[in-house]
Structure 1
């Protein structure tokens, strides 16, 4: 397995990802059966966003209690419901149904109370056009007004046969409009036989790798260009999280393909 590409367990339990090539971002997956309880604590200098993938749970953070967090049957069935966990926070989750969540974390010097981001606060829309149309859900991004030190989080749905993150782009240095951010893509695929292809490459670093994406896989992107294509037959999803130099995003497009952005109006 590549240092940048991982398979995430789908079995019940707490699954922190080891060996992530990103230095700032952390990723954990949590799967609870109905009535099961998970207790955890955020690292003292790291903020975490808990994004419910499916099911419902009660989330207790210190004295704060958030009832029936979640509710969608799966990541394709509706907008996400999330809870921001501040650095050092102790928390407890009690599953009301079979419950799946992703927890992404980054360094933080911010002290704020925990808060929830309800589905009706998630901004949605589409990027691209033609066969590189994809649909986004922005969970924790500027300028939503939610406090965070460095986390940027959202979701993308890629229709069957379409490209996503196209033209390929990178965000690894402060230059022109480019801003340094690491990124992770956590993928789900709508059918068991479905798959996608993620290309991750860097001419400067001398690698060009294409990964076969299946349900519950993750691409870690500390640097380099990246793009994704969903094979025909199944819609695919990825949770994206970034951390780096502030929360304003800026990318550099692959120069030889940047012209494709001008063929049609793109967001």
Structure 2
């Protein structure tokens, strides 16, 4: 099995991603039936952002209650509602409806209070042009004024048949404007038969992999160029999250394809 690409299952409770290639990032998914409760904790040296994928829940973190988190039916139905879980936090999730949440995490030495990011606080917009137009939702990014040690988190919606993360880019080392960040994409597809293709390849030709992306796929990218195309007939969504040298992002486009940036501001 490719250590970068994973097809996840929808197990009830908390399911942690195993055997991936990133060193800084981790990912878990929490799935609860209505009325179910999950109690957990965050490691002392990590921070986590709980992003409601679908449904709603009452979430308590270190005794602080967020009475109703979530509310969208699915990722295509509106902006996300999220809760930041600081390092060492104890938390309880009580599902008010069926509840599905993504939980990316990254290293932290920051001691702060938990907080929520409501849908109205999410910055939205469009990147690209023509058939590589896609729509973004920035949840936890710098400089949004919200505290975090290393996590950067957002969502991208790719229309039917469009390319995304185009032209291909990387962020694997400090080199001019490029900044080192690991990254993961967690995908949802709007139709059960829908799919897409993700190309992930090395800057020196050391690897060149193409993956068939279906609903609930995940790609871990500690290095390398990457780009995605969704097949016609379904919208694609991916939760993107990064950690690295800083919370300021900087990428390098593939020099062979960077000319497409001249058509519009990107990435």
TM value normalised by structure 2: 0.98
Q: Please state whether the residue corresponding to 2:57 is helix, strand or coil.
A: strand
Per the alignment, residue 38 of structure 1 pairs with 38
State the shift of 1:266 in Å: 3.9
State the shift of 1:107 in Å: 0.5
The aligned runs of 1:217-232 (5 Å cut-off) are 217-232=217-232
RMSD: 0.9
1: CA distance between counterparts of 2:106 and 2:234?
32
Q: Following TM superposition, where does structure 1 have runs of at least 4 consecutive aligned residues deviating by more than 6 angstroms?
A: none
Per the alignment, residue 183 of structure 1 pairs with 183
**Residues 1:25 and 1:265: Cα distance change in structure 2 (over 3 Å):** closer
2: CA distance between counterparts of 1:251 and 1:30?
31
State the shift of 1:157 in Å: 0.1
The aligned runs of 1:39-118 (5 Å cut-off) are 39-118=39-118
Q: Residues 153-196 of structure 1, C-alpha deviation per residue, up to 9 Å, x if partnerless?
A: 00000000000000000000001100000000000000000000
Any unmatched runs of 5+ in structure 1?
none
Per the alignment, residue 5 of structure 2 pairs with 5
Q: Please state whether the residue corresponding to 1:255 is helix, strand or coil.
A: coil
State the shift of 1:265 in Å: 4.4
2: CA distance between counterparts of 1:229 and 1:45?
36
2: CA distance between counterparts of 1:265 and 1:149?
28
Q: Residues 2-42 of structure 1, C-alpha deviation per residue, up to 9 Å, x if partnerless?
A: 10000111232211001121000000001000010001100
State the shift of 1:124 in Å: 0.2
Per the alignment, residue 128 of structure 1 pairs with 128
**Residues 1:169 and 1:265: Cα distance change in structure 2 (over 3 Å):** closer
State the shift of 1:63 in Å: 1.7
- How many residues are paired up? 267
**Residues 1:266 and 1:21: Cα distance change in structure 2 (over 3 Å):** closer
TM value normalised by structure 1: 0.98
Any unmatched runs of 5+ in structure 2?
none
State the shift of 1:205 in Å: 5.5
